[in-house]
Amino acid sequence: MRTQVAIIGGGPSGLLLGQLLHRKGIDTVVLERKTKDYVLGRIRAGILEVGMVDLMREAGVGDRMDRECFVHDGTLISYGDDLFGINFKDHTDTSVVVYGQTEVTRDLYDAREASGAPILYNTEDVAIHDADGDAPHVTYRVAGQDHRIDCDFIAGCDGFHGVSRQTIPLSVRREYEKVYPFGWLGILSETPPVNDELIYASSDRGFALCSMRNANLSRYYIQCSLSDSPDDWTDAAFWDELRRRIPASEAEALITGPSIEKSIAPLRSFVTEPMRWGRLFLCGDAAHIVPPTGAKGLNTAASDVHYLYHGLLHRYADGDDDGLERYSERALARIWKAERFSWWFTNLMHRYPDQSEFDLKMQQAEIAFLRDNRDAQAVMAQNYVGLPY
Ligand code: RFL
Ligand code: PHB
């Protein structure tokens, strides 16, 4: 088989890139290790920046999002019982939207299937060959049969555990990582959200987040120990702990119900440089991870897709390689700022096992500064709604 761009990974990065390219007449093949149902079963991001929203529209998959999403003009932050708001719209004239990654991915799968562009599931042993030459190819196996795709370029959209990043030789690749000493236990429940806005809550017992998917679907998280397993937490224990970490006014209003999903995510900051090696381009979680506190994971994947899409477009439309040559530099410049924001917001809101009394006072003072200072709120708002592409 031959294609112009082989896309490894059928998560949001790979599907969005594929859809954007398809609309410009550029052929792609998407290779996904799992099944569509498996990918759609993963509950992940909930907040989209305006850049991601615009890309979904540009890809022709914005209609359901525009109908069903919820626009959020701000967020709430609490420390104990002290609750205050940061208004994004006032500071940036921009909002974010609540539209779950599951829905984003579903819309992209529907569009790909409707377009007839190829997507291969259950691909095993995907391997990238000659990415540093002029004629790269990808090999893989499906149901015991070996296959090969020849291509012009390869987009490595295969997430943190994929093969694409590993293909870049260690002599070229540099990795930066910070692993946090806690995780997030998340549940999804068919209950109305406790508040119209998200609440990022810091408390003596650790961090909590009240988020949502729609008027009757709530997503809540609590900071947990890395040694915890979801089975250690009954629903009742989860709700009790959440109530202790959010302001009393909110705890009283909280409507609880059975969880329909419960999982633990570790928290990590990670960046690999460069994001391009020859004709291989890394996109999204394949190249970088943020702790979810700033809601940046999916949104940084989208900015990579934006830079790569435009690079490929210029290459195919007018033979101009500048966008591809500068892909890594452009993508990384924005990634590092999103990494910094996610790291800062994580440090501000979580309890650390080795935290001293002094460290705690510093956190409290910084949260109070954010509560009282318009400029600090403007900085937070600019980062949360997303820096320009
Ligand atoms: P994905 O979504 O991981 O998709 C990669 C796809 O590649 C496939 N794959 C392969 N396919 C073929 N061959 C191989 N060798 C392959 N290896 C892997 C995988 O099966 C998968 O389908 O990466 P992508 O597309 O870059 O998208 C990134 C986002 O998914 C990610 O940044 C966010 O979900 C991160 N994230 C969150 N981000 C937010 O903005 N807000 C959140 O609340 C949030 N919650 C989360 C998260 C990530 C989590 N993880 C990684 C466990 C919660 C969790 C639990
Ligand atoms: C979510 O709704 O899953 C969510 C929202 C905001 C975050 C992280 C996760 O910062």
Instruction: Record the pTM.
Output: 0.97
> Is the distance from CB of 28 to CB of 4 less than 8 angstroms?
yes
Q: How far is the CA of 102 from the centre of ligand 2 (A)?
A: 13
Q: Is residue 93 part of a domain?
A: no
Q: What is the pLDDT of residue 99?
A: 97
Q: Are 200 and 339 in a shared domain?
A: no
The letter for the amino acid at 83 is: L
Write the Ramachandran bin of 225: left for phi over 0, alpha for psi from -120 to 50, otherwise beta. beta
Whether residues 208 and 340 share a domain: the answer is: no
CA 101, 211, 220 angle in degrees (round to 5)?
100
Please check whether residue 152 lies inside any domain of the structure. Answer: yes
The whole-number pLDDT of residue 65 equals 98
**What is the total count of domains within the chain?**
2
Q: Which domain holds residue 184?
A: 180-267+354-385
**Statement to judge: residues 258 and 128 lie in one domain:** no
Residue 123 lies in a domain: yes
State whether the beta carbon of 185 lies less than 6 angstroms from ligand 1: no
Tell me: do 240 and 335 sit in the same domain.
no
308 within domain boundaries: yes
46 in ligand 2 pocket by Cβ < 6 Å? Answer: yes
Residue 134 sits in the same domain as residue 188: no
146 and 273 belong to one structural domain? yes
Q: Which ligand is nearest to the CA of 128?
A: 1
For residue 384, indicate whether it is catalytic.
yes
The protein residue whose alpha carbon is closest to atom 2 in ligand 2 is 46
Whether 83 is in a domain gets the answer no
Say whether both 234 and 362 belong to one domain. Answer: yes
**Cα–Cα dist 105/84, whole Å:** 33
Beta 47-48 vs 137-142: how paired, if at all? unpaired
Distance CA 21, CA 44 (A): 25
CATH number at residue 248: 3.30.9.10
Q: What separation in Å is there between the alpha carbon of 199 and the centre of ligand 1?
A: 24
Cα(276)–Cα(325) distance, rounded to whole angstroms?
9
SS3 label, residue 142: strand
Pocket of ligand 2 contains residue 219 by CB under 6 Å: yes
Asked if residue 128 and residue 62 are part of one domain, the reply reads: yes
From the CB of 101, is ligand 2 less than 6 Å away?
A: no
One domain, residues 154 and 198: no
What's the one-letter identity of residue 103?
E
Question: What's CA 307's distance to the chain center, in Å?
Answer: 16
Give CA–CA dist 225/360, Å, rounded. Answer: 19
Cβ 282 under 6 angstroms from ligand 1: no
Query: DSSP label at 326?
Result: T
389 has catalytic annotation = no
**CA 285 distance to own-chain centroid:** 8
Q: What's the CA gap between 68 and 65, in Å, rounded? A: 5
Q: What pLDDT, on the 0 to 100 scale, is given for residue 16?
A: 98
**Does the annotation count 292 as an active-site position?**
yes
> What distance in Å separates the CA atoms of residue 370 and residue 380, rounded to the nearest whole number?
8
74 falls within a domain: no
Phi then psi for residue 318, to 5 deg, are -135, 20
Residue 125 CA: which ligand 1 atom is closest?
Answer: 15
CATH number for the domain that contains residue 324? 3.50.50.60
From the CA of 101, give the closest atom in ligand 1: 34
Whole-Å CA distances, 164 to 161, 177, 368? 9, 18, 43
Whether 165 and 112 map to the same domain: the answer is yes
Residue 79's contacts (CB-CB under 8 Å, 6 or more residues apart) are 201, 202, 203, 364, 367, 368
pLDDT for 43: 87
Does any ligand 1 atom lie closer than 6 A to the CB of residue 39?
A: yes
At 299, give phi and psi (nearest 5°).
-70, -35
Among all chains, which residue has been given the structure tokens 């003009």? 73
Instruction: Please tell me the distance from the alpha carbon of residue 101 to that of residue 340, in angstroms, as a whole number.
Output: 23
CB 151 within 8 A of CB 2: yes
280-282 vs 276-277, strand pairing mode = antiparallel
Query: Which residue minimizes the CA distance to atom 7 of ligand 2?
Result: 295
The CA 159 to ligand 1 mean position distance, Å, reads 5
Q: Which of 72, 91, 137, 306 is catalytic?
A: 72
Q: Find, among 293, 117, 89, the residue nearest to 207 by Cα.
A: 293
Q: Could you read off the pLDDT tens digit of each residue along the chain, which spans 389 residues?
A: 999 999 999 999 999 999 999 999 999 999 999 999 999 998 899 999 999 999 999 999 999 999 999 999 999 999 999 999 999 999 999 999 999 999 999 999 999 999 999 999 999 999 999 999 999 999 999 999 999 999 999 999 999 999 999 999 999 999 999 999 999 999 999 999 999 999 999 999 999 999 999 999 999 999 999 999 999 999 999 999 999 999 999 999 999 999 999 999 999 999 999 999 999 999 999 999 999 999 999 999 999 999 999 999 999 999 999 999 999 999 999 999 999 999 999 999 999 999 999 999 999 999 999 999 999 999 999 999 999 99
Select from 44, 69, 209, 300 the residue to mutate for testing ligand 2; criterion: most ligand atoms less than 8 Å from CB.
209
Identify residue 138 by its one-letter amino acid code: V
Judge contact between 246 and 254, C-beta under 8 A: yes
Q: Are residues 121 and 169 in the same domain?
A: yes
* C-alpha separations of 302 from 17, 54, 56, 127, 372 in Å: 9, 10, 9, 24, 33
Is there a domain that residue 203 lies in? yes
CA–CA separation, 93 and 95 (whole Å)? 7
Q: Is there a domain that residue 82 lies in?
A: no
Residues 161 and 201 in one domain: no
